[in-house]
Amino acid sequence: MFPFTVFFLDFVVTSSLHVVGSKTLGGAERFCLRLLEGLRESGDEVGLVHRRGSEVADAVPPSIATHPSPLRTVWDPLSRRDIAGLIRRLRPDIVQTYMGRATRQTRLSRRKGPVHVARLGGYYKLNGYFHAHAWIGNTRGVCDYMLEAGLPVARVHHISNFIDEPAPVSDADLDALRGELGIPEDALTLMTAGRFVPVKGHCHLLEAFARLPDEIGGRPLWLVMVGDGPLQGGLGDQARQLGLENRVAWAGWRTEPGPFFQLADLVVFPSLEMETLGNVILEAWAHRRPLVTTRFRGARELTHHGEDAWQAPCADSEALAEAIRRVLTDPELGRDMAARGRGRIDQEFTRQVIVGQYRELYQQLLAGR
């Protein structure tokens, strides 16, 4: 259904300008920064237009050229003029935009100049995307969604996310992290990561955790919640009402969640059906951790039940608790799933693989301009 990717032995150097209008630093923004580093390391010229004063601006690697812009609203005419002037001055081959604000503010001619690629990591309303020249979906489901809306099949492309090799974490650092969170040294630790928003399904995870015993195999059972967001207060109240306040550690938002994956005996991802992909799946695999995930649309596309993850229905706390219990009480199953997940990362989701797909797509689009 989607254009077949063929890797060339040699790439022509291209220049790409990436536009991100977000105020906060989330999954799409982090992916953009990783992609920029990968393209630069491969020899391409890259630059980033970001919202002035945003968290994204503070996270850009020093090797990436940056261009701050107001990007205050979706329809900010000053930002549109600012971006247009920057593109005329820099003359990149590709302009890649992320999400609605950046895409709406970027308007390029279809007959000359750079190719405008809009990258979608979710099921967004598409009325602000039709003017792009090509579209990338990070799941096949997102690509199907775009095709159903009438976008041309030859211009809709599937390229997934990638995960970099995790940085090693010493035993001393893990011990210090346990001490910071108040987790006993012998605890059996569950971990989840993500914004505390409805689609992440954290309320169902707390309900599932309350159904589990205080100990499994003689080890106290703990849950680490990594993240923050508008539901944090309500989730804290729920945990107290369920009597979990002494077994749940609230780690807050962390710019580097890697040590928490290393701390975990099991990663749990309880998202609801609307979740698109879920980088937590890739993170768990990269860290060689067994994974229990709900069967949302991204997980159905990405994971294989019983092979590289254990699936449970969405919004079903009883089934989620049973899935967690199943994996925790069968260490061999957990080890096998973690190993297969890591194999998936090495074969399909490395920086080299995904950056190569982006570079090949860019050249394909430029050749057909």
Question: Partners of 68 in the beta sheet?
Answer: 50
74 confidence band (pLDDT: 50, 70, 90): confident
Pairing of strands 15-20, 94-98: parallel
Give SS3 for 173: helix
| Mean pLDDT, rounded, for 47-68 | 94
* Domain ranges (residues) in the chain: 15-162+350-367, 171-348
- How long is the chain? 369
10 confidence band (pLDDT: 50, 70, 90): low
pTM of the model: 0.90
| In the predicted structure, residue 50 carries a pLDDT above the cut 80 | yes
Dump pLDDT digits (tens) for 185-243. Answer: 999 999 999 999 999 999 999 999 999 999 999 999 999 999 999 999 999 999 999 99
Do residues 13 and 363 lie in contact, with contact meaning Cβ atoms separated by under 8 Å? Answer: no
For the chain, percent of residues with pLDDT exceeding 70: 97
Do residues 163 and 349 lie in contact, with contact meaning Cβ atoms separated by under 8 Å? Answer: yes
Give SS3 for 355: helix
Give the whole-angstrom CA distance, residue 294 versus residue 32. Answer: 26
Identical fold, 15-162+350-367 and 171-348: yes
- Counting Cβ atoms within 10 Å, is residue 88 exposed (0-12), middle (13-18) or buried (19+)? exposed
317 confidence band (pLDDT: 50, 70, 90): very high
Place of tokens 């701050």: 68
Q: What average pLDDT is seen over the chain?
A: 94
- Counting Cβ atoms within 10 Å, is residue 35 exposed (0-12), middle (13-18) or buried (19+)? buried
Domain 15-162+350-367, CATH number (from 3.40.640.10, 3.30.1540.10, 3.40.50.2000, 3.30.70.20): 3.40.50.2000
- 55-to-31, 60, 231, 357 alpha-carbon distances in Å: 14, 9, 21, 28
| In the predicted structure, residue 319 carries a pLDDT above the cut 80 | yes
Question: Of 335, 186, 209, 180, whose CA–CA distance to 270 is shortest?
Answer: 209
4 confidence band (pLDDT: 50, 70, 90): very low
Task: Give the other-Cβ count within 10 Å of 237's Cβ.
Answer: 10
**Six token digits for residue 119:** 């990258």
**Six token digits for residue 262:** 């290393």
Dump pLDDT digits (tens) for 239-287. Answer: 999 999 999 999 998 888 999 999 999 999 999 999 998 899 999 999 9
| Mean pLDDT, rounded, for 87-93 | 96
Supply the CATH classification number for the domain 171-348.
3.40.50.2000
**Six token digits for residue 277:** 């992909």
Phi, psi angles (nearest 5°) of residue 220: -65, 140
Give SS3 for 49: strand
- Give residue 11's pLDDT: 57
Dump pLDDT digits (tens) for 100-152. Answer: 999 999 999 988 899 999 999 999 999 999 999 999 999 999 999 999 999 99
